Homo-oligomer: A and B are copies of this chain.
Amino acid sequence: MAPMSAPVPRLAADPIAEAHRQWVAHGWESAADGMAAITSLMRAHQIFLARVETVLRPFDVSFARYEVLMLLHFSKRGALPMRTIGSRLQVHQTSVTNAVDRLEAAHLVQRLPHPTDRRATLVELTRSGRALAEKATAALNAEVFTDTGLSPRAVNDVVKTLSQLRRSAGDF
């Protein structure tokens, strides 16, 4: 016979399944699945963002700033106008200003006047910015992206499904 063991802490019920039950119980069946899907996406975002930020912390960059660095890293000249950065990352211009301010303070990028459009500002990756982008990517690949906690099949399904969503939202 098994020895007495300490009481197992009862795991809380899945909050989203619980919300789904409530939705159905209130007669909102037609919205219940959509609610559950959107709430699940919100939570998944939170989980992954936390993982990514944890890996990036030693590099003293946030995911938002990392994305700017990678965009520049992939560009031919290592430089892009602010506006282009916002379009590609699909964030508000003022978010770009914010991120570039911090990246520039950390000497990871540099603002330069645009050669032909005096309204525009080019953001150029510095040598240390490029080095950091490479090291941070190695860390993220190893610690998060290679094993997301989802099966390879699920990973592909997520990409495919959300691709439709993004298309319908006008992303491309």
A-side interface residues toward B, CB under 8 Å? 11-17, 19, 22, 28, 30-38, 40-49, 52, 70, 74, 87-90, 137, 140-142, 144-152, 154-159, 161-169, 171-172
Would you call A149 and B172 a contact (CB within 8 A)? no
* Given A14-B166, A152-B33: A49 touches B42 (CB 8 Å cut-off): yes
Determine whether the beta carbon of A158 is less than 8 Å from that of B14: no
Q: Which of B22, B33, B144 contacts A38 (CB under 8 A)?
A: B144
Cβ-defined contact, B166 with A161, below 8 A: no
CB pair A161–B154 under 8 Å, yes or no, is yes
Offer 9 A-B interface pairs, CB within 8 angstroms, sorted by A.
A14-B172, A22-B74, A28-B141, A30-B146, A31-B142, A32-B145, A37-B159, A41-B44, A158-B158
